Amino acid sequence: MNLTTKYLGLNLRNPLVIGSSGLTDNVEKIKKLENCGAGAIVLKSLFEEQININIEKTLSESGETHPDARDYIEGYTKDKTIEEYIGLIKSAKKEVNIPIIASINCITDSDWANFASEIESAGADALELNIALLPSDVDTDSKKYEEMYFKIIQKVHKNCRLPLSVKISFYSSGLANLIYKLSASGMIEGITLFNRFYNPDINLETLELDSANVLSHPEEYTLPLRWTALLAGKVKANIAATTGIHSGKTAAKLILAGADTVHIVSAIYKHGFEYIHTVLEELESICKKHGFNSIEQMRGKASFLHNKKYNTTFERIQFMKYFGGLEI
């Protein structure tokens, strides 16, 4: 069974990619993930927000208020964080043979994103831009948010020749059109569906804000499934599906919908590194069951473009079925 996959111009031994997370923040874990069968690794993101938090923390601890001191601390903190990240890339490339994809989590188009050229020099095979934009400002229209995507991508593309993928939020008033324009821009090779945001909750004991579940649930795969099926074949960029992929069965569904790769994280946290073998075995079994000799033969068979009979199914937003005698 041929599981090999082409993604961002890279040759992967299979379509199972370990997504950006604490699973990919050091070389020992990355080596284990490779040994267990991962097709590629997305390193834990370098967070713009975390850099800013570290700067403020250092300033607070130092007690410095002079503008020159702030400039020095800001520059030192950024440089140190970037240096550590570059070190991780170099170490990973020395120790493993599978592709290493760096990741930047962006909320603005600030100058620090210019260090993409350093990521390239360190030997990363590709770069994922995790653009975490939540359109929560009532005074900002959707056009401004879309412009921010392009500003960030343009700045990175200008300084980096690596294949670029954009991990995008599903919060957009014209999501399909935005993804189409990003893909047609000629600046990116991939789209990852979707960015998983931190979700707040309310603690009824303390009446304070708390964190909702950090890990995804198996049923969450249906959101990327729909949009993968709707977009596959219509956009030039490779599609990576993520969130809710907890089994080989789910991975197979996303690939049938048209995904080039599937990114998995929560299932590995829950079941351990060896679970990668289980997912791959299940995926291979499904391929064989339906007479596919390769992932390429399977890919997109249930996509919107490949199967016109599914047009209304993937675009339907209201339930029109009966479950147990109840109309839902």
Is residue 176 over pLDDT 60? yes
Residue 42 is predicted with a pLDDT of: 99
Q: Of 48-57, 71-80, 224-233, 313-322, where does the model show the most confidence?
A: 224-233
Residue 136 is predicted with a pLDDT of: 83
Burial 189-204 (b: 16+ CB within 10 A, else e): bbbbbbbbeeeeeeee
User: What is the arithmetic mean of pLDDT over 49-56?
Assistant: 65
Dihedral pair phi/psi, residue 194, rounded to 5°:
-140, 170
d(CA 72, CA 56): 12
d(CA 191, CA 182): 9
Distances in whole angstroms, Cα of residue 207 to Cα of each of 63, 139, 198, 202, 211: 33, 29, 19, 6, 13
Look up the pTM and report it.
Answer: 0.88
Q: What does the pLDDT look like over 198-234, one tens digit per residue? A: 788 899 999 998 877 789 999 999 999 999 999 999 9
Tell me which of 129 and 196 has the higher pLDDT.
Answer: 129
- Find, among 256, 259, 267, the residue nearest to 191 by Cα: 259
Residue 316 is predicted with a pLDDT of: 58
Is residue 322 over pLDDT 50? no
Tell me which of 109 and 84 has the higher pLDDT.
Answer: 84
Q: What angle, rounded to 10 degrees, do the helices at 48-62 and 67-95 form?
A: 130
Confidence class for position 60, pLDDT limits 50, 70, 90: low
Q: What does the pLDDT look like over 257-300, one tens digit per residue? A: 999 999 999 999 999 999 999 999 999 999 999 999 999 999 99
Residue 250 is predicted with a pLDDT of: 98
- 23-27, 178-182, 194-198, 224-228, range with the lowest pLDDT: 194-198
d(CA 112, CA 5): 33
Is residue 327 over pLDDT 50? no
Q: What does the pLDDT look like over 117-171, one tens digit per residue? A: 899 999 999 999 998 788 888 888 888 989 999 999 999 999 899 999 999 988 8
**Whole-number mean pLDDT of the chain?**
88
What DSSP string runs through 236-283? SSEEEEESS--SHHHHHHHHHHT-SEEEE-HHHHHH-TTHHHHHHHHH
Residue 154 is predicted with a pLDDT of: 93
Confidence class for position 47, pLDDT limits 50, 70, 90: confident
Domains of the chain and CATH, by start: 5-327 (3.20.20.70)
Tell me which of 307 and 45 has the higher pLDDT.
Answer: 45
User: What is the arithmetic mean of pLDDT over 311-322?
Assistant: 56
Q: What angle, rounded to 10 degrees, do the helices at 248-257 and 222-231 form?
A: 30
User: What is the arithmetic mean of pLDDT over 9-33?
Assistant: 98
Residue 328 is predicted with a pLDDT of: 42
Residue 315 is predicted with a pLDDT of: 61
Residue 135 is predicted with a pLDDT of: 81
Is residue 83 over pLDDT 60? yes
